Structure 1
Amino acid sequence: MGTAVAAIVVAVGVPSAAEAVTIAPPWCGTPEPDATAALPDGTGANDPVGSFPHIPYYAIGCTLQKIKAEGVRGRMTIEQHGVSAQGRPMWRVTINALETSAQRRAYDNWWDVRRLAREDPSRAQRELRHARGAVKVPLYIQSGIHGNESEGVDAMMEFINRLATSRRGQDAEVDRWLDHSILVFNVVHNPDGRALGQRANGNGFDLNRDFLTQSQTETKASVATMQKWLFPDMLDQHGYVTPTLIEATTKPHGPGIDYDLFLKWNQPRTKANGDALATVGLGYQRPINDWCADADLPPFGQTRCADGSLPGPAVAEGWDDWGPFYTPMYNQLVGLNGSTIEMCQSTAPASTTQYTCGAPGATNFPRGRIAAKIAQALVTTSTVEFNVANRSAVLNDMLEIYRRGKAGAPRPPCCPAPFDRENNWMYEYPEAYMIPVGQGQRSDAEANRLVDWLLTNGIEVHKLLLPARIGGTWYQHGSYVVSLRQPHRGLVEESLGAGVDISSRIGQLYAPPAAFSHGLLWGADVVQVPRGTPIWALALPIDRTPKLRGGVEHSHRATAYALELDSPTAVRTLNALLRAGVTAQIAEAPFGRYPAGTALFDRGARRALERAADDSGLIFRAVDGPLPAATPLTRVPRIAVLTGGLTQEIWVMRQLGFEADPVSTAATGALNNANGPNPLDAYDVVFNQAGWPGAAAQATARARLSAFFAAGGGYLGAGVNGTAFLASAGEVAGLSAAARSGAGRSGIVRWNNTGGASSPITGAYPAQDTAIMDPPTWLTAVPPTLSVDARLPSSNFFVSGLWLLDEQSSTAPGAALIAHGPNAANTNRLTVFAMNPLYRADPEREWPAFASAAYWVGKRAGAPALAPVQQTAAMEEVVEVPSSRHGH
C-alpha cells in the first residue's frame, strides 16, 4: 500500500531569502480566452462593492512557478497531477517544510503511521502514541470544482504564496502550521470551467457528482491524491450562499460513514471556522445545527422554523452527506472529515428583513467578491489551525475507523445529545461481496473493470485460487472476494451494496441520486454474502486484475460468429470492429441459445475478431446452425443529440464508440437555419430528452426532423419529454409517460424483461434486472403498434432511494419502462426509455440496452448477407474452445 507515498521526494534545503509574489495584473503566461478575466475587476463598473482582479486560468501555472522560485527552498512542490476534459493541466501544490530537525522528525513519524495505516491500523495507532505529538497531519484543500465559483482559487493562490514565502520567524502562524502539517492543494479542480466561466467541465459534467463513479479525468486526479495521502480532513471550496455555509451535514447521513467519529470532529472544527469568520464581522450557518425541515434557516429574526419547530438536528434536512459522489463525502469514507464551504458574496448592507453576509447585528463587514475570498481564506486557515492543534487525536480517530473495519467490529452507538435523534443511519455490514467470474457472471470483462475500480480506491480484493462454496453457492476459481473486514468497509458498502429505501424516513435530499450502487448499476453481477456467513476458501490478495483470455471458437461448421451485447465492453468491441471496416449484422429474432440483438459476423472476419478478442477478453462464439433474419450494420450509427451543447449523455455515447454530437433545435441553431445545410443529413439516429420544437420560430427545425423520420432516421427518446416529443411530432399516437419529481426523488428499481429473448433491445438481459431513475419515471400508455421490452413489477419494485409512493405514483406498479417499434407511418424505427439510460455515467448496466436500441433504430443501410455454409459430414465439430471460465 505504501509504494505511492514512499515515492514522495523530500527536498531538504537551506531557507532562501524568500519574498512574497504579487498576484495581480499584468498576468504572466500566454493570454488565451478566459472567462475569469471578465469578472468585475474593481473598477466599479459591474460590482461597486468588493471587487478585485481574479487570476485567469492561463496565469496560474506560471504564477505558482514564480511563488516557488521566490519561496523558501524545498518547501513547495508543484506537480501536474492530471488534465481536464479539454486537456488543460491540473496543478497540485504540496507545502511540506523540512527545514528543521523537528519538522523532519514530525514528517518521519507521520510516514511511519501512513505506511501502516491500512495494513495494520492498530500498530499505526501505537506508533502515533509513541510520537507524542511530534507528527504532521496531511490536509487537503480543493478549489474551483465549479468553474463559475471563483474566489476559492484566488484565496488559495494567496495562501500558497504566504506559506511558501514566509521565512521562519517571520509569521508565527505559518511556523506553527508548517511544523505540524502537510498542506496539499488541488488549486483548480475544474480548469475548463474556470476558463469557460461555467459550472461543468468541458464534457458537461458537474464534477461534484462524480466522486463515486469517477468517470472524469479531473475526478480521477483528485481521488488519486486522497488515496495517496489519506487526509483526515479536507475542504472543497464553493459558492455562493448567504451567509457563508460551512458544511455540517443534515440527515440523512451516509450509512458507510462512522458518524460518531465524524460528528466528534466536524462539529468543533466547523464551529472554529465560524468563530474565525466572526472576527471580521462575517456570519455563517451550519445546516445540521441551524436549519429547518424546509432546508433553510428560520425566517429572518425568528428563532423557530415556519412550522413552529426548533431548528437543529431533530428536523434539519436538505444539506446531507447521503451521496458518496460529493468530494467531502468521498473523503469521509476514505479519511475522517470534510466540508463543502459555500462562500457568501452578497453586496447588501446589514438588513432587518433578510440574511446578509454579516453576522447578526454586524454593520461593518466585507461584502461582494472580496467577502467571498476572505471567507474562504479564514475557513481554510482556521481548519489548518484546528487540525494542527488536534493532530494526534484526529489521526488516531481516522485510524480507529480503519481498525474497526479490519477487525470487523460492530457499528458503534451514536450519538450524544442533541444528535441522539434520527441521525444514526449506520447499519451492520454484510460479511462480503462476491464478484463471480465464469459461471454466474454476465461479463467477466465487466467484473474485472469493477475490481479495477475497487483496487484504485484502496479496497482489498482477494481472488479464489480454487472453487469454493460460499453461502450455498459455488464460485469458480478466479472469482473475487471483497470482504467487509477491511479499513475502507464503508466505501465497499456504499459502492457495492444495494442501498437503503429512505422514503419513509426523510422528506428531501439536497440533490439526487438517492441511491448509488456499482454492484447493481455497473455491468458485472455482484452477490452479497450475509453477515456471519463463514468463508472457507483458498484466496490471495491481488493488486491488479489478470488479463482475460478472449478468443474465437473454432468450428469448421460455423456459419457465423456471434457476440452477445451484454456489456459495455461488448458494445465498444462491436463499434471498434465496425470502425475497422468489419461488417456485422444484428439478429432480429432469437436463434439457438442467442437472443435477438446479438451481433453476427461473417467467417471471413475471423482474423479481425481474434484481435478484438485479445484486446477485450471477450469470446466470439461459433454459430453452426441456420441464421436468423438480421439487420446489416456497415458502420457505427451516427447519433444527433438534440441539445444545445456537450452533455454527459454525449460523453457516454462517445465512450461506447458512437459518433455523437449536439444538434440544437433552438431558433438560432443550425437545424433551424433554412439557408444553411441540414445538420441531420450527417446522422442516422436522433437521441432526445426534450420536447418537440413547437415555437413558430422553429418551423425549419420541425420540418427537418419530420423529413429525417420519413427518410428512415431512427429515434431514441428518454424521460417524459423524450416520450411526449413523438406525440407532438405526429410520429406516434397514444404514447405517454409520467414522473414523480422534486425533493430529490430518485432511486434504483427492479424491472422485468418483458420482451425476453425476442427483444432486440433487452434480449441479452436476465429475466429481472436493475436500473436507476432520476426522477422516478414510467410509461403510462403504450399503443399496440409498439412492443414493450421492460416493465416495473406490480409490487416490490423499489430497491433503494427516495420515492414517496403516493397517489401521484398510483400508475407506476406494473408500468412499461422501455418500448420499441415503428412510427405511425411505418417509415422509421423508434425506442423510448422512461429512465435515462445514460444518466451521469452511472448506470453502465443500462448502456447495452441503449446501444442495442441505437443499432435497431438506425437508418437501414444496405449490406450483403452473411454467407451460409454447406455442411458436410466431413466437417469437424469444435476443435478449440477457450475456457468457459472467461465468460462471454
Structure 2
Amino acid sequence: MRARSVRLPMLAGALLAGLLVPVSQPADAAIAPPWCGTPSADAAAALPTGANAGDPAGSFPHIPYYAVGCTLERIQGESNGRMSLEVIGESALGRPMYGVVINALETKQQRDDYRAWTKVRKEMLEDPAKAQSLVDAAGSRIKTPMVVQGGIHGNEFEGVDAAMELIEKYATTPYGVDPEVDYALDHLVLVFNPIQNPDGRVSGQRLNGNGFDLNRDYLSQTQTETIASINLQKEWLAPELLDLHGYVAPTLIEGTTKPHNPSVEYDLWIKWNQPRVAANVAAMDAAGFETTIPVTEWCSDGDFPTAPSGLCDNGRPPGPAEAEGWDDWGPFYTGMYAQQIGLDASTVEMCWTPFDICGGRVGAKDQQVVVVESTMDFVADNRSAMLHDQLEILKRNDVNAPRPACCPAPYDVDNNWMNEYGEGYVIPMGTGQRSEAEANRLVEWLLYNDIEVQKTTQPYTYGGTTYAPGSYLVPMAQPRRGLADTALSVGVDISDRINQLYAPPAAWSHGYLWGADVVPVARGAALPAKVNKVRGPSLLGGGVQGGSADYYALEIDSPTAVRFLNGLVADGGLQPKLALGPVQATTGTLAAGSVVLPAGRQARRALDALAKRTGLEFQPVKAAGVPALEAIDRVPRIAVLAGSLDQSVWSLRDLGFPANPVSTAMLNGATNPLDSYDVIFNAGTGYPANTAANATARARLAAFFAAGGGYIGAGTTGAGFLTNGGQVTGLTAAARTGGGRSGIVWWDNTGGTSSVITGAYPARDTAIMDPPTWLTAVPSTFTVDARLPQSGFFAAGLWRLDEQSASAPGSALVAHGTNTTGTARMTVFAMNPLYRADPEREWPMVSAAAYWADK
C-alpha cells in the first residue's frame, strides 16, 4: 500500500555533515543571561502569572523567546555538524518555530546504523511488512528517532528550558567524554521542537496568539503551530514522543487511565508505555524526586485514595481497573495524536510549587531533564523491539486485521476499549453529498495525514443506496486505519462505562462535524472492486446551471458557500439579496437563507467565473419562485464578546466575516466600540452587572439593540445574556456540566426549508455539545428551528441522561426571533457552533444568523 512520499531534508543534511568533522569541545557558554538577541517590547512586558508568581517584578528566570533562535544557532555552530537547525513554521503572530535534529555520525557504526533506519523509514507506510523485516534483520544495529516537544502552553515555562539544556548537552558534548551521552548518540536520533508556542511564551499565557489551546488542536489542525509540529512528527515517525508540560505535584509521568481511544492498539501501547514509565520513576527516585502515575495510583475520582486503608471510596484498590481522570480518549492532544502515528507518547507534567517534593523552579526543569534522559536510555535499550512493534501496528492496519486480545494484568479489567473496525467509509460525490467542496476539503485532510483515499470508477451500492462513480472511498485496510477511523466515525457512547474525562470533548468527528456527508461501511460488506488511488481531491466545476431564468440562487449550505458569499458581497458588483423564504428554482426547492441575484448575461458570466472550480452551483429561478427578499448592503461586521482573540473570532474571520473581540471594559471605555459592528456574537460573556461601573456598557448595549443591531448567542451564557439584559422574556437554558460531559447529538430540523437559520440542513443532522445544553423555554417572539429528538438523540460521548436532564428530550436547540420591542433580530444556539473551530458543519447556521440579523 502506497502513501505520501517521504520528505527527509533534515535527515540528509545530518548524514552529510556528520561524515566530515568530529565534534569539538563545547564552548564555555551556558543557556543563561546575558541573552543573545534583541528584546522586543512584548518580551520585556509585565510579569506573567502562574508559574512566575512571586518573582521580583519584571524578572523572567527562563530563556526568553527572543533568545531561543540565536541560542540554537550558537549551539549548532558549536556542534560541528552533529546538529541540524531548521525553521519548521511560524506562530499565529508570525514568530519562527524551530526544529532541531541531533544525529551523531562520527563513527562508521553510527553511520551504518542510521542508514539502516532510513531504509526502514522509506518503507514504513509503503510496505510495513517489508519495513519490519528490515528492522528484524538489523537487530541492534539500527538508530531510532525520538521526539521531544516543549512549551505548547506558554505559561508552562521550564519545558523549553529543559529542551534547550538537553539540546546543548547532546549537540556539543565531545564523543568519549560522557558514556551516557555517547550511548544516546550511538543509538538515537534526537528530534526537538523546543518551543511549540512562541506567542504564549512571550505573553506568559497558555494560549497561542489566536486564542487557541494548541494541545486541543491536533485533530482539527487549524493552527500553524500545530501543522509545524505534525510535519516534524510525520517526517520522523518516531516510536517515542515526550511533550513537556506543567504543573502537577508530584511530577506526573503519563500512564493514561481509562477510557482509552478505541483506535489505539492498546495491547502494544501498554507493553511499552508502562516499562518506560517504570524506568522514568526509577530515575526520578534516584534523583530525589517523587512522581505521580495516574493509571496505577488513582481512583475513579481522578485522585489518590484518601482513606487510611489506602483503598478508594468504593473499597477497591486504586489502579488500572479504577483509575480515571487522565485518559487518552481524545486524539486532539499532542501525545494522543502521536500515539496514532507512532507507538508510545506521553505528557510529562513537571512539578513546580514551594513544596520540597518539587525542588522549586530549578527542580521543575531538572525533573523534565531526568524524564527525557531516562526515556532516551529506555528507547536506546529497546530500539529494535520498539520499532518492530510500531511496524506491527502498521501491519495489522494494512490488512484490517481483527482487533487483538487485551490486556495483561493488571490491565485486564475494563481497559480494553478497542472496537472492531468496519470496512471503510464512502464520501459520496454527486447525489448524497451536501457539498462536494467540503468533501474535497475532507479528502485534503485525510491525504495530509497519510491516510489512503481511493475513488470509485463504477456505481457502488451499499445499504440500498447507489453512489455515483467518482465518489471517494477510505478503506480500513491501510496503515493509517486507526487515525482514519477516529477522524471519520461518529464515535462511541461511553456514558455507561466511565465517570469522567480529563477534558472534553468526549466525541469528535470530521465525518459528522465537518461539512461533508460520510457513509460508514460495516465490516464484512463488499467494497467497490474497481478503484483508483487518489493523490489529490477532484477538480470541481461550479457556476450557473442551464435553463431559462429571471434570477439565479445559491443555497448557503457549506463553509465554502459562506466564504463565496462573503467574497461576493465584499466585491460589491453583483449585490445579492437574502431570501426570507424558500426559493422555488427550476431544479427544486432552495432553503430560506439562500442568496438571489437578477439573471442576465453579465451576471451569468461573472458568476461562472467566480464560482469556477468551487463546486458551488447557482440555480435558475423564475420570478414566481422568488420569496420576499432583503437587501444585503455589506458583509456583517461581528463584535465577539470576549476579552481577547479567541476561537470564535478566528472561525468568523476564516469564513470571511470582519470580526473582533469586544470586552466589557471596552464597552465601558471612552468610545463606543459597537458603532463599528452590525451583529454581536456571544458564547461566554454575561450581561454587564447593574453597577455604576458598568452603566456605560449597559447603555450602549441597550442602544445597539434598540437601533436594530443583531445578536447571536450560544450556550447558557449566550441565552442568559438576553434575559438578564431585558431584551427578551421567557428564554431559559439548561446544561449538564462537570466531569467532561460532552458529545455529538442528533437534532431535527423543525424549521425545514422555511427556516432562514437551518433551512439548508437535512431533516436530521449532527452537532457537538460541550457541555450538553438545551433551551428549556423560548420567547413568544421566537421561532424554534431545531430540536433534540424525543429519544435516541445522543450519538457519542459522555452524557448520563438521567443526570439533571429530564427536560432535554424534545427540547429546542436553535431558535430565532426578535427582542421584546421588535427592534433587533436574534438567534440563540444551545450548542456553540464555533466551538474550537471544529464543527464546520454548523458554520452555515452562524452565517445565516448573521446575515438575517443585519437587517
- Cα deviation for residue 785 of structure 1 reads 1.9
Q: Given the superposition, is the C-alpha separation of residues 168 and 2 from structure 1 closer, same or farther in structure 2, using an over 3 Å criterion?
A: farther
Report percent identity of matched pairs: 58
Preserved CA contact (<8 Å) 1:641 1:663: yes
Instruction: Say whether the 8 Å CA contact 2:456–2:528 is kept in structure 1.
Output: no
The aligned runs of 1:312-391 (5 Å cut-off) are 312-349=319-356, 356-357=357-358, 367-391=359-383
Alpha-carbon distance in 2 for matches of 1:277, 1:614: 61
Say if 2:651 and 2:834, in contact at 8 Å, map to a contact too: yes
The worse-fitting range, judged by mean Cα deviation, of 823-832 and 472-481 is 472-481
Secondary structure of 2:553's partner? Answer: strand
Aligned pairs (5 A) from 1:4-153: 4-7=6-9, 8-9=11-12, 10-11=15-16, 12-20=19-27, 21-34=29-42, 46=54, 53-71=61-79, 73-153=80-160
Q: Distance in 2 between matches of 1:82 and 1:773?
A: 32
The more displaced of 125-134 and 306-315 is 306-315
Counterpart position of 1:812: 808
Is the counterpart of residue 635 in structure 1 residue 634 in structure 2? yes
- Count the aligned residue pairs: 833
- Determine helix, strand or coil for the equivalent of 1:549: coil
State the shift of 1:6 in Å. 4.3
TM-score normalized by the length of structure 2: 0.95
1:573 aligns with 2:564: yes
Contact 1:586 1:633 in 2 (8 A): yes
Given the alignment of the two structures, is residue 448 of structure 1 paired with residue 437 of structure 2, yes or no? Answer: no
In structure 1, distance between residues paired with 2:482 and 2:750: 36
After superposition, the Cα gap between the structure-2 partners of 1:36 and 1:432, relative to the gap in structure 1 and judged at 3 Å, is farther
Matched, 1:772 2:768: yes
What is the TM-score normalised by the length of structure 1? 0.92
* Equivalent in 517, 528, 538 of residue 536 of structure 1: 528
Q: 1:788 to 1:387 in 2, by over 3 A?
A: same
Check conservation: 1:2, 1:114, Cα contact below 8 A.
no
Q: Give 3-state SS (helix, strand or coil) of 2:248's partner.
A: coil
Q: Compare 263-272 and 692-701 and name the one that shifted more.
A: 692-701
The letter of the residue matching 1:127 is L
Tell whether 2:210 aligns with 1:215: no
Q: Is the 8 A contact 1:33 1:195 kept in 2?
A: no
The alignment yields a C-alpha RMSD, in angstroms, of: 1.8
Q: What pairs with 1:445-844 in structure 2 (closer than 5 Å)?
A: 445-555=437-547, 557-582=548-573, 583-592=575-584, 593-603=589-599, 604-614=602-612, 616-626=614-624, 627-665=626-664, 669-673=665-669, 676-689=670-683, 690-696=685-691, 697-806=693-802, 808-844=804-840
SS of the equivalent of 1:238 reads: strand
CA distance in 2, matches of 1:90, 1:433: 36
Q: Which moved more, 1:138-147 or 1:691-700?
A: 691-700
Aligned to 2:317: 310
Query: Does the 8 A contact of 1:236 with 1:341 survive in 2?
Result: yes
2:541–2:613 contact (8 Å) kept in structure 1: no
Residues 457-477 of structure 1, C-alpha deviations (whole Å, 9 max, x = no match): 111111112322244432112
Taking the aligned partners of 1:558 and 1:4, their CA distance within structure 2 comes to: 51
Q: CA deviation at 1:591?
A: 2.2
Report the 3-state secondary structure (helix = DSSP H, G, I; strand = E; otherwise coil) of the residue aligned with 1:5: coil
Deviations 1:600-651 (A, max 9, x none): 1233433442232125332222223432111211210001111111111110
- 2:567 corresponds to which letter in structure 1? A
CA displacement, residues 271-317 of structure 1 (integer Å, 9 cap, x when unaligned):
11111111121000110011111101223976323443311011100
State the shift of 1:36 in Å.
7.9
Q: Secondary structure at the match of 1:4?
A: coil
Q: Which amino acid aligns with 2:281?
A: G
1:421 paired with 2:421, answer no
Q: Which amino acid aligns with 2:770?
A: D
Report the Cα offset of residue 726 of structure 1.
1.2
Structure 1's 819 and 638: CA in aligned 2 closer, same or farther, altered over 3 A? same
Amino acid aligned to 1:280? A
Deviations 1:151-208 (A, max 9, x none): 0100110100011111111121111111111111111000000011000000100000
Structure-2 separation of matches of 1:91 and 1:301: 49
**One-letter amino acid of the counterpart of residue 668, structure 2:** N
Q: Map of 1:401-420 to 2, 5 A cutoff?
A: 401-420=393-412
Matches of 1:34 and 1:99, distance apart in 2: 42
Q: What amino acid does structure 2 have at the position aligned with 1:22?
A: A
What is the DSSP-based 3-state SS (H/G/I as helix, E as strand, rest coil) of the residue aligned with 1:279?
Answer: helix
- Which segment is superposed worse, 122-131 or 238-247? 122-131
Distance in 1, matches of 2:244 and 2:613, equals 41
Given that 2:48 and 2:205 are in contact with CA atoms closer than 8 Å, whether structure 1 keeps it comes out as: no
Q: Does the 8 Å CA contact 2:260/2:327 hold for their aligned counterparts?
A: yes
CA distance in 2, matches of 1:16, 1:500: 53
**How far off its partner does 1:234 sit?**
0.3
Equivalent residue, structure 2, for 1:291: 298
Which amino acid letter does the alignment assign opposite residue 720 of structure 2?
Answer: A
CA 1:608–1:198: 2 relative to 1, 3 Å: farther
How many Å separate the matches in 2 of 1:280 and 1:39?
Answer: 31
Given residue 235 of structure 2, which amino acid in structure 1 is its aligned partner? K
Q: SS at the partner of 1:809?
A: coil
Name the counterpart of 1:881: none
1:432 CA displacement: 0.5
Q: Contact 1:653/1:659 (CA < 8 Å) preserved in 2?
A: yes
Read off the aligned partner of 2:707 and give its amino acid letter.
A
User: Please, which runs of 5 or more residues in structure 2 have no aligned partner?
Assistant: none
One-letter code aligned to 1:854: A
Structure-2 change in CA distance of 1:580 and 1:787 (3 Å): same
2:713 and 2:829 in contact (8 A); partners too: yes
**SS of equivalent to 1:274:** helix
Which amino acid counterpart does residue 681 of structure 1 have in structure 2?
Answer: D
Q: Which amino acid aligns with 2:643?
A: G
